[in-house]
Amino acid sequence: MKILKFKSLFVLIVSLALFTGCGDDEEVKESSFVGNFVINSAKVAAPSFSIITTTIPIPVPVGQDITQAIQGALLSSVNCSSADKSWIELRKDNKIYMSCEGANAINAGTWEEVDAKTLKLNMNSTAIPTSPQGIVLTVGDIVQDSKGWSGTTSVPMPKEMFAAMLQPLGFTIAPSPDLYIVPFTLNFVKK
């Protein structure tokens, strides 16, 4: 009789353990940054660009629209008829892909949601051919809405990339510095 009670008690305990263990699994929440985006606008966020190798600032008006230059610099590896058709895809597996409206996507690196207002984009040299090591864009002060998100970043750019950005705007740069710090705002619109 005692053995039967112990067996019944054992079966009851195992059953309870199985049933209580199944209901405790947390559902993994998908990041709100996952999706396809286009760079809608980029504007100068500070009154000057700093040169890393010297303290000479290059004056530029705050709010100066540099959308075409940033699209050209960040999306140069995507072969598309216009930059507003070039998608940046932030995937669930934290990989970045770039494409022309979803076709022929190239692996552009990885991304990380640091917190609700900070995103780190680790763009490789395939995405940014003018930078052999790639670049890291840490976008902060992010504001999200139903259309997409916007934030500010400051990124070191090699002089070749920086010159390509500024020439269409009528600016020239000194030939000596190798890197420039460019502070700007970015606005990404969901596709």
Residue 113: which residues within 8 A CB-CB, separation 6 or more?
31, 33, 119
The list of the chain residues with pLDDT below 70 reads 1-28, 47-61, 156-180
Residue 70 C-beta-side C-alpha neighbours within 13 Å: 24
CA angle in degrees (0–180, nearest 5) for 46-153-84 = 105
User: What is residue 186's predicted lDDT score, i.e. its pLDDT?
Assistant: 92
Contact present, 37 and 191 (Cβ < 8 Å): yes
User: What is residue 26's predicted lDDT score, i.e. its pLDDT?
Assistant: 64
- Dihedrals phi, psi of 78, to nearest 5 degrees: -95, 125
Q: Alpha-carbon dihedral of residues 147, 125, 116, 42, nearest 10 degrees?
A: -50
Distance (Å, rounded) from C-alpha 110 to C-alpha 97? 8
User: What is residue 72's predicted lDDT score, i.e. its pLDDT?
Assistant: 77
- Verdict on whether the full-model pTM lies above 0.85: no
Residue-wise pLDDT for 111-141, tens only, equals: 999 999 999 999 998 888 877 888 888 999 9
Q: Residue 123: which of 90, 150, 145 has the closest Cα?
A: 90
State both tokens at 129: 């051919």
User: What is residue 84's predicted lDDT score, i.e. its pLDDT?
Assistant: 79
